[in-house]
A and B are shown apart, each in its own frame.
Chain A
Amino acid sequence: MAKGAVHITVDRCKGCAICVEFCPTHVLALSTAFNGKGYHPPHVVNAEKCSGCDLCGMYCPDFAIYGFKLGKQGVAQ
């Protein structure tokens, strides 16, 4: 069971990939799909590894992603 999860606001993303690079558990990868502005937003590839540390949210210059902790029942805390 994953300890955390991320929420991505796809339409705000400008595809800089800083979240992908600095995620400590390598949860994210850039998607091949485009968002409305023509950038490649990140998507979750290793959901079970996410610790909900919110480092992606700290780095994101576009306020497009954030992480949060999940409790035992998979409910956000």
Chain B
Amino acid sequence: MAAVANPVEQFLRSERIPHIWCPGCGIGTTVNAFARAVIDSGLDPLKVVVVSGIGCSGRVAGYVSFDSFHTTHGRAIPFATGLKLANPELTVVVYSGDGDLSAIGGNHLIHSARRNLDIKVICVNNLVYAMTGGQSAPTTPETANTSTSPYGSFEPDLNLPKLLDAAGASYVARWTTYHVKQMERAMLELLRKKGFGFLEVVSQCPTLYQRRNGMGDGLESVKFYKEHSKVKNDACLDDLAMDKIGEIICGRFVDRDRPEYGQTMREFYQNKLGAKYRAPEFQDGVLV
């Protein structure tokens, strides 16, 4: 007996659930927050597109019932760029992992932030390459044990919010899977923000990160985030680097307005080429 339906259910391809994510994995939690944010935003679900790369978080595109793309490794943002420029009425959400977005697709991330293209990037950061077997990623904190760093990682990790701020993103925030309400609000702000938005969700990988580092299961990691996170909006971005057992600073770090790429591009070509240039036109919301 279900008196009211699960709010996420309308956005899921129910026939594909249960999903492949491990017990205690944080990706499903982010999907809950995303579905609720889409409901709160009042957007037409037919005009929301989810684009994913490869990896555990890349599976999101296959489980949500929005129009979705499951693209090649690291290339979620180029696909999203094409979608957004061809049809500016769409809300394009790139939903992918840290390895896909910041390592293999690192250049695309930097340059779409530099251009301030109006796409919303949700990066589920589980600190390793999870689907391929737990290799160390650019986001793996120093001293963390992974399958390719069995004596502990000795590389400094990538500070994603600082990178995105330097590249010029309009909106940058970080939350963990413990902060579900804040994550939902951040996703709502992301959906409403014009320009390049980036939300980093620090998420647990109980099978390949927490287990190898003696940090317990999914539940233990959410408790760890509860104890070790500190909300600090507009924090100094230098402080945001993560270490294995140290503090995780969460909050909204950047919220600014810059000219948006698609609009700038269309205006530029209109001025330069005049009648030779034809911008995308719509009739009753349909591209003609």
Contacts and interface: CB of A to CB of B under 8 A. Distances in A.
23 contacts: A9-B6, A14-B18, A14-B23, A16-B24, A18-B29, A21-B222, A37-B18, A54-B7, A55-B180, A57-B32, A58-B180, A59-B29, A59-B32, A59-B222, A60-B28, A61-B21, A61-B27, A61-B28, A61-B29, A63-B6, A63-B31, A68-B3, A75-B3
Interface string A1-37: 0000101010110111110011000000000000001
Contacts of A54: 7
A63 to B, nearest CB: 5
Given A21-B222, A62-B21, A77-B4, 20 more contacts: A9-B6, A14-B23, A14-B24, A18-B24, A18-B218, A18-B222, A21-B219, A39-B23, A54-B7, A58-B29, A59-B32, A59-B222, A60-B28, A61-B25, A61-B28, A61-B218, A63-B6, A63-B9, A63-B31, A76-B3
Contacts of B22: 14
B180 A59 contact: yes
Interface string B125-163: 000000000000000000000000000000000000000
B28 A7 contact: no
A57 B7 contact: yes
B193 interface: no
Contacts of A17: 219
A62 B28 contact: yes
B12 interface: yes
Interface of A: 5, 7, 9, 11-12, 14-18, 21-22, 37, 39, 54-55, 57-63, 66, 68, 75-77
A7 B6 CA distance: 8
Nearest to B2: A7
Interface of B: 1-4, 6-9, 12, 17-19, 21-29, 31-33, 36, 180-181, 184, 217-219, 222-223
A61 B181 contact: no
A62 B219 contact: no
Contacts of A66: 6-8
A53 B173 CA distance: 25
A39 to B, nearest CB: 7
Contact of B6 (A21, A37, A57): A57
A15 B219 CA distance: 10
Contacts of A14: 18, 22-24
Nearest to A5: B3
B191 to A, nearest CB: 17
A16 B218 contact: yes
